[in-house]
Amino acid sequence: MKLDGYRLCCQAVDGAVTIWTRNGHDWTARFPGIVASLAKLPVHSAVIDGEAVVLDECGVPSFGALQVALGRGSWKAATDAILYAFDLLHLDGMDLRPWKLSERRDALFNIVPATLLHIRISEDIEGDPRRIFEAACEHGLEGIISKRQAAPYRSGRTGDWVKTKCISSDTFIVIGYEPASSGVGVGGLRLAERGDDGRLVSVGGVGTGFTRSVAASLGRKLDAIRQPKPAVPGLRSKTVVWVRPELLAEVEYRAKTNDGDLRHASFKGLRDPSDQ
């Protein structure tokens, strides 16, 4: 299953643990529970690939809950985060990346005790991909990842892993907001993304997914970075307050229109710009 969290690379050497994000930032201090569990692995050294998540009250990974736990720019610690481990790259000085995925997974199961509170091994499900995908969507999961069991570990995008999402989710740049009708916080965001030439291109906006407290918090953050003109030239609106393109929003959406605007979009949370 595809989990909705932060991809992490975790190294444990004689009980000393380091955790990196996908872009190489050291986030060891942000996941104390995961660090404590990794330190208890019965190995001399190991490098594990996985995803950090925070579960909601139904036991489903919630990116919004993870984002709240970490706190944007404040370096809060996500004490309740769980690492779903799905691959083992190195073990006791041995490079396992040339091994088949099934063999690496067997080795992973052998070193992760079920008693560890903050590490779980992601579940392998075999069967009809369409039925598995439908079940994942029905249970509110983000989607599935199909993997070739005989494939070695290769960095970057390859055909060995195929990701299928129930709902599209991506990170967009906040370029403006519409004040809430209540007068407190935001009622909607205007968004953009980088085109192939590096320039910002409007993708429309998002007007749902904000709780009252999130709307108020976003309003305070965006008020601090106002600017008189839109970051995307040519945009006009009498109701939008334009801001500097500094904040990143994670947004779910069903599709894009022919003009490139998001359809049925819903705000999920802010992404940390330091890890983009």
Alpha-carbon distance of 124 to 48, in angstroms, equals 17
Alpha-carbon distance of 83 to 146, in angstroms, equals 20
**Element spanning 52, H or E:** strand 45-53
Within 8 A by CB and 6+ apart from 151, the residues are 100, 101, 158, 160
| Assigned token pair, 212 | 């009252």
Within 8 A by CB and 6+ apart from 170, the residues are 193, 250, 251, 253
Cβ(242)–Cβ(227) under 8 Å?
A: yes
Alpha-carbon distance of 207 to 220, in angstroms, equals 17
Range 159-165 contact pairs with CB under 8 angstroms and sequence separation of 24 or more: 160/101, 163/2, 164/2, 164/129, 164/133, 165/2
Cβ(171)–Cβ(249) under 8 Å?
A: yes
Residues serving a catalytic function are: 2
